[in-house]
Amino acid sequence: DEQKLKLCELLNSNLSGFNLKKIKKPIIKKDELKLDLNYSKMYAKLGLNTKDQQGLMAYLMNVFNELELVLCAAKIQTIRQRTRNIFIFQKNEKLEHSEQKLVNLLISE
């Protein structure tokens, strides 16, 4: 039990320093990103078709986590240095209020 507790403390201390500042922001152009808040009654859809880059998924997951978005499903596809990703989020007030912030955090050009 003591070993488990020490391991949990060690993991938590290492993970608590993990933030967006350590992850390089990927290059995503405005026309490579499509956010559809009216995808369905309960879900919103984010489509991303961009150049595959190191740290892209880590950056995306951190942004989703920072905005407290509820990710329900994802389709990740990479072919010849291009990535085509679709993310389905639960539609809620947080998502609707953070729409512009989400787009601004993702788009770099």
Q: What is the pLDDT of residues 37-52, one digit of tens each?
A: 999 999 999 999 999 9
Residue 99 is assigned to a structural domain of this protein: yes
pTM: 0.78
Tell me, what's the pLDDT at 44?
95
Spatial contact of 87 and 71, defined as CB atoms under 8 Å apart:
yes
Query: Quick one: pLDDT band at residue 83, thresholds 50, 70, 90?
Result: very high
Question: Which residues are within 8 A (CB) of 60 and not within 5 positions of it... i.e. 6 or more apart?
Answer: 48, 85, 87, 106
Q: Which CATH number belongs to the domain containing residue 100 in this structure?
A: 3.30.70.260
Q: Is the pLDDT of residue 22 over 80?
A: no
Give the chain's domain count: 1
Residue 89 is assigned to a structural domain of this protein: yes
Residue 28 is assigned to a structural domain of this protein: yes
What element of type H or E holds 50?
A: strand 43-51
Integer angstrom CA distances of residue 48 from 16, 19, 32, 33, 86: 28, 22, 6, 5, 6
Residue 30 is assigned to a structural domain of this protein: yes
Structural domain boundaries enclosing 44 = 24-106
Nearest to 77 by CA among 107, 52, 104: 52
Tell me, what's the pLDDT at 20?
44
> What average pLDDT does this structure show over 45-62?
93
Tell me, what's the pLDDT at 45?
97
